[in-house]
Structure 1
Amino acid sequence: MTQTLPRTELRIARSALSGLRQDLIDDAFAIHPLPPLSSGNPLMRRAPERARRYVGWLPHAALSACAFYVMAQSVVLVDDDMSLVLALLCGVPLLLTLFRPVGAWWLSFGASAVAGLELLPLEPIVGWPWPIPLATSHVLVMVMVAARSRPRAAAEIWLFTALLAGVLEYVNDAPYVSDTFPMLFVSGLLLCAVVTARSLRESKRRIAVQESVTVEERSRRTTLEERATIARELHDVVAHHMSVIAIQAEAAPYRVENPPEELTRSFATIRENAVIALTELRRVLGVVRADDIDTDADPEAPQPTLAALDGLFAGVRAAGLAVDHVTTGAVRPLPQGVELSAYRIVQEALSNALRHAPGSAARVEVSYVLGGLGLRVVNGPPTKAVPPSPGMGHGLLGMRERVTMLDGEIRAGAREEDGGYEVTVFIPAPEMAAPEIAVPETVAEPEA
């Protein structure tokens, strides 16, 4: 225990010295120019378009103005040959912070030591150990360093300044009042304010970045969930067709009297491959179905089609949404995947209307057009108070996933006419022909 404490303290001291060397010594005079204001700055956003190129350089102009003001103050307070020297000691470090902030602080620190050791013959009325212009310049330099360096650098430069003040107070027994305490007190308050403001700004930036990442991850997770839902639903459609292939391949040889052996083997191979494919399909997509969070859904129930829209409208009307349904064009059978996706799109659009536009009326248009199916779901503005919804646009994302899967097009957005919402979808769907199985009367012998 007696050996652990000294080693720990030595390690802390080495770490502090390493940080001090990294902040104030290594590359102290490296070029680190003050950047102009970013486009996201409030001043840049409020400034006119033509003036933004000049507004971005306001910090540089303000700092230069402060430097020339301090230099002018030095000339006014000191009426002898030392006025120019004091003006340079005050203005040069302040202007240097535009390019080399840490190096500028070292120059200001050296100028403070020169003035405090009374190497400049200044009158006591100017201030001791910091003349008024030099104290102003040194505080501004420390503020610039704190605003552009790590928070610990602000504590380090303040402690060095306090150490210098203590040395000057000890070395010089001046008969006049010292301005050390006011200077350290004001500079400490300003440095704390700068570090606090910078920390808050960095925290807000990190929170914004984290929220952006969270939204992106949530959107990605939602996309995967929607795709899993589509896979669960299409599992039934694909499994149905694969079962039909297997059954018809098994029954086809019995429809021909004395079928050739090659034909029988071909149908047997077709059936075997269909059964294998069906087994693998159920093995892979069945896992997705097992994770279905919709425990109320019947896993054996057939997937809905456009013929089930009347039941959907009845449920929505019972929930308080007036729905008008119009079907145009010649109704014809469509691929089951198209009908299932069309049903889900209408269902999701009406659910969004119930959630985000209570008390409104909706209109659903189903158009059987040449080469595909058109859907249009329109709802008016809400007439009742809209309750807060935890939704993040997942329904619209699911609709886009379904339409993209079928190579269709979708447009969704607010209506300028009445403030309602409109979803327009087109899904390409060729006309379906009745499936037929052609059984050849003879099978050609394969060429040798």
Structure 2
Amino acid sequence: MTQTRTAPSGDGERSPEFRLAMDVLSGLRQDLFHDAFAYRPLPLMGTEGRLTRRLSDKRRWYAARLPQAVVVALALIAMFGGSAGGSMDGPMALLSGLVCAAPVMATLVRPVGAFWMSMAATPLVALLDGRLGEWPWQPGVFICHLTVLVVVAIRTRPRTAAWMWALTAAYALFAETVIGDGEYNTSAPMLLLSALALLMVAVLHVRREARQEVTAQQTVTAHERSRRTLLEERTTIARELHDVVAHHMSVVAIQAEAAPYRVENPPEELERAFATIRENAVAALTELRRVLGVVRAEDYEAPDAPQPTLADLDALLANVRDAGLSVDKTVTGAVRELSPGVELSAYRIVQEALSNSLRHAPGATARVEVSYVLGGLGLRIVNGSIPQTSLVKPSPGAGHGITGMRERVSMLDGEMTAGPTDDGGYEVAVFLPFRAQTEGEA
């Protein structure tokens, strides 16, 4: 019985060396051959920098086109070197200069194609001059090719720059050994200068990519921090609402159980109604604790004292004054009792706004305005600017304050604005809608 062996047919069965060589050739084809002469105009320079944004509109227009102007100036230098660096004169010198300038100008619109034009210009200028012994680079094409390498490397990526330098070195080796007479050696300066220039460009590329990656990571981190802050604030609100609602549901259940005993010989229907109310209150309380209880941390302990309301603002302001903030309170409108959620959220908003004033504007004065208006409650907390005589420096916060206030206002379908004032202070204005209960609803 004989066994037959089949030759490997797939790339997966090739040797690692073969796959490496194919990857290298694929990268070369993609970087320097695929769409080599594609139209890729040089973009304008950004004018949002520290210096350019101070210029007038006309000067900023010119500043945005500075890269194009630099390339044109380099093309003129290459043209001068090509026309004056050889033994030609008259039309031949002009033609040589144009051949040297054309690849540099091509970097403005077709960067990869400009590299191949520069490679082709090298023997062409030598043929026009008739001095093949000075191959591979005469003065004009030396300037031209070095400029093209640097500009194309800036406009592409480091791998493309490496390929261009490798092809340049191969071309120089071939020209020096096969065509040149060895009297002039222009390859060593070209390869050394181009290697240093391309290395600097590669370092700039890596630095720019690292900066972009850091910026992207900072953006993601800021987004995650904001999201985590929002979740933490929602958790805090849920805990507080859980305590408020649980307290009132417990009161309803106790009152429903005790109500029949306050009436002598109550009807059976009334006893069943109160029993149903108590059962529903207990069931709602159990479900509330089951659903909202998951937001409590393991080390969270429910506060023993009742949740604060607007009636506790005076104690809060006294505490803030003891901390060094001079604050006044103004109340307008008919003071009335609001729902526990509105009372608690309003207290927390004032508390957080005053805490921000203590942190960001030490030594400033603040004012709290509470307005009982038709259909809701208005709050306005404003602080002045930091006095010049203040010895305490502002301390940066974690960004939880404004986020938490907005979350509370959004939960109650209210409106909120926050921002700096004209005198250098800061203002927080909030409106919390609230529909007063009628006697029939109470």
Q: Where on the TM-score scale, by shorter chain, does this alignment land: which range?
A: 0.7 to 0.9
* Conservation of the 8 A alpha-carbon contact between 1:82 and 1:122: no
425-434 vs 211-220, greater mean Cα deviation = 425-434
Q: Does 1:119 align with 2:119?
A: no
Determine helix, strand or coil for the equivalent of 2:163: helix
Specify the alignment match of 2:111 in structure 1.
101
Q: Distance in 1 between matches of 2:34 and 2:379?
A: 68
Determine helix, strand or coil for the equivalent of 2:127: coil
Q: Does 1:311 align with 2:321?
A: no
**Structure 1 residue 19 displacement after superposition:** 1.9
Specify the alignment match of 2:23 in structure 1.
15
Q: Distance in 2 between matches of 1:338 and 1:43?
A: 50
Specify the alignment match of 1:236 in structure 2.
243
Which of 344, 348, 372 lines up with 1:368 in the alignment? 372
Give the AA of the match of 1:160: L
**Structure 1 residue 380 displacement after superposition:** 3.0
**Structure 1 residue 230 displacement after superposition:** 1.0
* Conservation of the 8 A alpha-carbon contact between 1:374 and 1:425: yes
Judged with a 3 Å threshold, the aligned counterparts in structure 2 of structure 1 residues 250 and 328 are, in CA distance, closer, same or farther, namely same
365-374 vs 396-405, greater mean Cα deviation = 365-374
Determine helix, strand or coil for the equivalent of 1:225: helix
* Conservation of the 8 A alpha-carbon contact between 2:78 and 2:101: yes
Instruction: Kindly provide the CA deviation profile for residues 6-47 of structure 1, in whole angstroms up to 9, marking residues without a partner as x.
Output: 955554444333322221222322332322234545675344
* Conservation of the 8 A alpha-carbon contact between 1:333 and 1:432: no
Q: Does 1:414 align with 2:424?
A: no
Q: Distance in 2 between matches of 1:374 and 1:173?
A: 89
Instruction: Kindly provide the CA deviation profile for residues 111-151 of structure 1, in whole angstroms up to 9, marking residues without a partner as x.
Output: 22455xx53444589x5421111111111111122112221
* Conservation of the 8 A alpha-carbon contact between 2:135 and 2:176: no
- What does 1:142-161 correspond to in 2, within 5 Å? 142-161=149-168
* Conservation of the 8 A alpha-carbon contact between 2:380 and 2:428: yes
Which of 342, 349, 371 lines up with 1:345 in the alignment? 349
**Which consecutive residues of structure 2, in runs of 5 or more, have no partner in the other structure?**
1-13
Q: Does 1:217 align with 2:203?
A: no
Q: Does 1:393 align with 2:403?
A: no
* Conservation of the 8 A alpha-carbon contact between 1:335 and 1:432: no
- What does 1:31-430 correspond to in 2, within 5 Å? 31-38=39-46, 40=48, 45-77=53-85, 78-79=88-89, 82-115=92-125, 118-123=126-131, 128-174=135-181, 176-252=183-259, 255=263, 257=265, 259-261=267-269, 264-290=271-297, 299-383=303-387, 384-387=390-393, 389-417=395-423, 419-430=424-435
Q: Does 1:26 align with 2:30?
A: no
Q: Distance in 2 between matches of 1:413 and 1:435?
A: 42
Determine helix, strand or coil for the equivalent of 1:130: coil
What is the root-mean-square deviation in Å for CA atoms of aligned residues?
3.0
Determine helix, strand or coil for the equivalent of 1:119: helix
Q: Distance in 1 between matches of 2:62 and 2:102?
A: 24
Judged with a 3 Å threshold, the aligned counterparts in structure 2 of structure 1 residues 404 and 122 are, in CA distance, closer, same or farther, namely same
Q: Distance in 1 between matches of 2:291 and 2:168?
A: 71
Specify the alignment match of 1:441 in structure 2.
none
* Conservation of the 8 A alpha-carbon contact between 2:329 and 2:369: yes
Specify the alignment match of 1:443 in structure 2.
none
Q: Distance in 2 between matches of 1:26 and 1:221?
A: 46
* Conservation of the 8 A alpha-carbon contact between 1:372 and 1:427: yes
Specify the alignment match of 1:444 in structure 2.
none
Determine helix, strand or coil for the equivalent of 2:57: coil
Q: Distance in 2 between matches of 1:27 and 1:302?
A: 73
Q: Distance in 2 between matches of 1:55 and 1:362?
A: 47
Give the AA of the match of 2:254: I
Give the AA of the match of 2:351: Q
Judged with a 3 Å threshold, the aligned counterparts in structure 2 of structure 1 residues 388 and 193 are, in CA distance, closer, same or farther, namely farther
323-332 vs 34-43, greater mean Cα deviation = 34-43
**Structure 1 residue 410 displacement after superposition:** 2.4
Q: Distance in 2 between matches of 1:209 and 1:175?
A: 53
Determine helix, strand or coil for the equivalent of 2:112: helix
* Conservation of the 8 A alpha-carbon contact between 1:113 and 1:164: no
86-95 vs 335-344, greater mean Cα deviation = 86-95
Q: Distance in 1 between matches of 2:298 and 2:391?
A: 36
Q: Distance in 1 between matches of 2:58 and 2:265?
A: 89
Specify the alignment match of 1:442 in structure 2.
none
Determine helix, strand or coil for the equivalent of 1:365: strand
Q: Distance in 2 between matches of 1:113 and 1:267?
A: 105
336-345 vs 48-57, greater mean Cα deviation = 48-57
**Which consecutive residues of structure 1, in runs of 5 or more, have no partner in the other structure?**
1-5, 438-448
Judged with a 3 Å threshold, the aligned counterparts in structure 2 of structure 1 residues 435 and 321 are, in CA distance, closer, same or farther, namely farther
Q: Distance in 2 between matches of 1:123 and 1:109?
A: 17
* Conservation of the 8 A alpha-carbon contact between 2:103 and 2:115: yes
Q: Distance in 2 between matches of 1:274 and 1:191?
A: 77
Q: Distance in 2 between matches of 1:298 and 1:236?
A: 8
* Conservation of the 8 A alpha-carbon contact between 1:341 and 1:402: yes
**Structure 1 residue 243 displacement after superposition:** 2.5
**Structure 1 residue 108 displacement after superposition:** 1.2
Query: TM-score scaled to structure 1, two decimals?
Result: 0.84
Instruction: Kindly provide the CA deviation profile for residues 403-430 of structure 1, in whole angstroms up to 9, marking residues without a partner as x.
Output: 222222323233323x333322222223
Q: Distance in 1 between matches of 2:392 and 2:158?
A: 46
Judged with a 3 Å threshold, the aligned counterparts in structure 2 of structure 1 residues 403 and 314 are, in CA distance, closer, same or farther, namely same
**Structure 1 residue 298 displacement after superposition:** 5.0
Count of residue pairs the alignment pairs up: 424
* Conservation of the 8 A alpha-carbon contact between 2:42 and 2:108: yes
